[in-house]
Amino acid sequence: MIGLLDYGAGNLRSISQAFTYLGFKTRLISSPDEIKRISRLVIPGVGSFGPAIIQLRKRNLKPLIDEWISSSHPLLGICLGLQLLTEGSEESPEEKGLAVFEGKCKKLTAKKVPQIGWNRVQLIKEDQIFQGLPEPVFFYFVHSYSLMNISSSTIAITEYGQAFSSVLRQANIYACQFHPEKSGEAGLLFLKNWVEKC
């Protein structure tokens, strides 16, 4: 069972439908006791960094994620979910992130922000989550901030104005800046690999 963290940051329908289409069961996780029933956790989300962190605290979900991470259960952060796993964001400097990944998110520097559309994801490390994807591979992005740090956890990068980390991995924790649930067949394969191989 895959838990989708429900902390009020956007619509969880598309991600849940993508997993359902792939034949995996999901449930929404909105309180700490529900987490016992799941084996994988997804932190989805669109919206702003600050309000998201505040919601996590309000709903008492922050300790739950911290514990999930320290017991190294499988986790996938998507879009804002990736940003929450960094040390923080320029978008809301007063709030701290979950600090799994090094660095803070910064505003994109390209002419048109937010980045809306399909962009190339260049794999810089081999990983089972990429297995079977075509080359070059494109995913669908919608975001104004991203993690410009390219650290030892970065497994793929994307160029938009400048390069940023588009997929990261630290042990059992994965994160992607794009929306796999909106990235067609490549996105579905990425999600399937995460469930079956990661």
Which residues of this chain interact with other proteins, rule CB under 8 A?
10-11, 13-14, 17-18, 20-21, 46-47, 111-120, 138, 140, 142, 159-160, 181-185, 187-188
**Given the residues 67, 73, 79, 94, the one annotated as active site:** 79
Nearer to other proteins, 35 or 46 (CB): 46
Min dist CB 187 to other proteins, Å, is: 6
Residues forming beta bridges with residue 118, ordered by sequence position: 140
Nearer to other proteins, 170 or 177 (CB): 177
Q: Is 179 a catalytic residue?
A: yes
What's the DSSP call for residue 122? E
DSSP string, 38-82: -SEEEE---S-HHHHHHHHHHTT-HHHHHHHHHTT--EEEETHHH
Min dist CB 73 to other proteins, Å, is: 26
Q: Is 79 a catalytic residue?
A: yes
Nearer to other proteins, 35 or 113 (CB): 113
Min dist CB 115 to other proteins, Å, is: 7
Place of tokens 């922000």: 113
Q: Which long-range contacts (CB under 8 A, 24 or more apart) does 54-57 make?
A: 54/95, 55/7, 55/8, 55/9, 56/7, 56/84
Cα(105)–Cα(90) distance, integer angstroms = 6
Q: Which are the catalytic amino acids?
A: 79, 179, 181
